[in-house]
A and B are shown apart, each in its own frame.
Chain A
């Protein structure tokens, strides 16, 4: 096992009844890089994320994170191991302000019980204060610190995405999974987000994204895997993938024609 790989997916299969959604899927996400998973609609991309984050259990194969298996772990335990994700359809907490949204993500590190609250409120207050400062720092990374007190419901679409990033980073992950981060964004929002994701990688986080937007994926990812009908049909650098005839036929060809 290579120590440089954060995440290793080997021979993973998933079926729902007789429907085979994923078959013999294998790839490795290296540390400190941006990795992309692309493929036509219904290829099984989000299923891959759900398997990694413990919302689903694979029917076959293994998923290792930093050399240890994730299979059988519950979602919150996997988060504690260092994997965070954002959603295709945004799931921020609309009735909380931005600061609170990010602080929810710090749960594992801020998990004093109600008893501790009663017995040692000084330590709790200190922990709250540290968490607050860290949350503000994370908000500043995505340029939202000046809106910390605003209700999340009032954010623009692009800002809601950024808030989701900051909240995911609050779990102190080593690997950040992004499910279609630029879905529904306009070109200028996309460009800004591209920079944000690059910045996140440069701070040492691994990034693994599902994305439809080819320009976005090709411009940002170090390596890309292509999923079609539940199988990996190509894997490599953006240039390798772009020139792979099978990929062009299955996916890019259709894109170009569109």
Chain B
């Protein structure tokens, strides 16, 4: 029983981490709390569903398509909304409010296009295998979800840590002005970051949609709240923090649902987050972030 729940928690937690990673990276590089990230997550799952059911695409193609589609949405948000605000030196709240608007637009567009009811992937497209490890039922789908989430996170970690692109992004996170004057095309990397983080949000949407096999226009909203909680818990802008925080929230949620109250799992998980913040107000990996213009 416990092992079964731990597997559920790992599956859920790895997707939370993937979602939160994009969220925290946008904050680190663009200094924007992107409240459209939940809606982009939802767009990803509808994009994959549309490709599977209307184009008969295989699931892996639909996943790539969903990343591309949600990535383009993220890029458009940056080019059409965040960039003009940057050019006008808008105060910090303006882009945040603007992304709330984007989120609402995307959610109601999805409702208009696909309806408000719960949609599902056709059963025959899901990886069907299921096997017993000890007395734990392991679905091939869960293995795939965890593997994809960790693979993408590993690629992101290595890129940030070991490549010039990653160094440039970390430089921007500390001081966009210094980065600019060292010859880095900061605007260009804002676009890259917006695309990549939205693509990660979109694939997270596909993975959650597959895991519960339920897709609704509203599915981004609880995810957004969890994402915010995770990056605050991990320390704003810190990618290790997003990973640890995402896994933590997955475990807290699943374990409290299983052993405390199936109705109040989220309440317990978020209560626990609050307690941690009382002890470490700037998050697990939080430093006092000082960012110069």
A residues adjacent to B (C-beta < 8 A): 53, 55, 75-76, 79-80, 84-85, 87, 89, 91-96, 100, 103-108, 110-114, 117, 124, 128, 131, 167-168, 170-171
Contact = CB atoms under 8 A, between A and B. Distances in A.
Nearest to B175: A91
Interface string B175-198: 101111111111000000000000
B225 interface: no
A85 B181 contact: yes
Interface in B109-168: 159, 163-165, 167-168
6 contacts: A85-B181, A93-B171, A96-B174, A111-B164, A112-B164, A114-B163
B292 interface: yes
Given A76-B186, A93-B170, A104-B179, 4 more contacts: A85-B181, A91-B178, A96-B170, A171-B182
Nearest to B180: A75
Point out which of A104, A108, A171 has the most chain B C-beta atoms below 10 A from its C-beta.
A104
Nearest to A112: B164
Contacts of B174: 93-96
Interface residues of B, number: 21
Contacts of B159: 114, 117
A72 B168 CA distance: 24
Nearest to A111: B164
Contact of B164 (A55, A85, A110, A168): A110
Interface centre among A76, A87, A112 (most CB of B within 10 A): A76
Contacts of A55: 177, 180-181
B170 A95 contact: yes
B167 A100 contact: yes
Contacts of A110: 164
A53 B182 CA distance: 10
A93 B168 contact: no
A111 B170 CA distance: 15
Nearest to A53: B181
A167 B292 CA distance: 18
B181 A75 contact: yes
Contact of B184 (A91, A107, A168): A107
Contacts of A84: 181-182
B183 A108 contact: yes
B165 A79 contact: no
Contact of A107 (B168, B175, B177, B292): B168
Nearest to B287: A95
A247 B175 CA distance: 37
Nearest to B238: A95
A79 B165 CA distance: 18
B292 A91 contact: yes
Contacts of A96: 167, 170-171, 174
